Amino acid sequence: MATQLLLTLFLLSFTVATISEDTGYVGPVDPKSLGLNKRKTLSHFRLYWQDVISGSNATAINIIPAIPKYNTTTSFGSVTVTDNALTLGPELSSKVVGRSEGIYALTSQSQVTLLMVMNFVLTEGKYNGSSITIVGRNVAYDEEKELPVVGGSGVFKFATGYAHAKTYHFDPTTGDATTEYNIYVFHY
- What is the DSSP annotation of 105-161? EE--SSS-EEEEEEEEEE-SGGGTT-EEEEEEEEETTSSEEEEEEEEEEGGGTT-EE
CB-neighbour burial class of residue 181 (10 A; exposed 0-12, middle 13-18, buried 19+):
buried
Q: For residue 7, tell me if it sits in a domain.
A: no
Residue 155 is given by DSSP the state G
Tell me which of 185 and 27 has the higher pLDDT.
185
Residue 3 scores a pLDDT above 80: no
Whole-angstrom Cα distance, residue 86 to residue 111?
27
pLDDT tens, 31-68? 888 878 889 999 999 999 999 999 999 999 999 999 99
In this prediction, residue 11 carries a pLDDT of 52
| Residue 10 falls inside a structural domain | no
The total number of structural domains in the chain stands at 1
163: nearest Cα among 103, 113, 116, 122: 116
Instruction: Confirm whether 153 is domain-assigned.
Output: yes
* In the chain, % of residues over pLDDT 70: 88
In a domain, 141, yes or no: yes
Mean pLDDT of the chain: 91
Note the pLDDT of residue 159: 97
The reported pTM is: 0.83
Q: Which residues contact 87 (CB under 8 A, 6 or more apart)?
A: 47, 48, 50, 94, 95, 96, 97
Residue 155 lies in domain: 39-187
For the ranges 8-17, 29-38, 112-121, 171-180, the lowest mean pLDDT is seen at 8-17
Q: Which CATH number goes with the domain that contains 146?
A: 2.40.480.10
- Per-residue burial over 23-62, b = 16 or more CB atoms within 10 Å of its CB, e = otherwise: eeeeeeeeeeeeeeeeeeeeeebebbbbbbbeeeebbbee
Phi, psi at 11, each rounded to 5°: -65, -40
Work out the pLDDT band at 25, boundaries 50, 70, 90.
Answer: confident
User: What does the alpha-carbon distance between residue 109 and residue 126 come to, in Å, rounded to a whole number?
Assistant: 43
Q: Is residue 148's pLDDT more than 90?
A: yes
Output 119 or 71, whichever has higher pLDDT. Answer: 119
Between residues 19 and 173, which one has the greater pLDDT? 173
Helix, strand, or coil here: 27? coil
Distance in angstroms (rounded) separating the CA atoms of residues 165 and 48: 9
- Beta bridge mates, 185: 43, 161
pLDDT digits (tens, 9 = 90+) for 95-113: 999 999 999 999 999 999 9
Task: Give residue 104's pLDDT.
Answer: 98
Using the predicted structure, report yes or no on whether residue 17 has a pLDDT greater than 60. no
Q: What is the pLDDT of residue 41?
A: 94
- Residue at 102 is within a domain: yes
The reply to whether 112 falls in a domain is yes
Decide if 116 contacts 136 (C-beta within 8 A). yes
Say if residue 16's pLDDT is above 60.
no
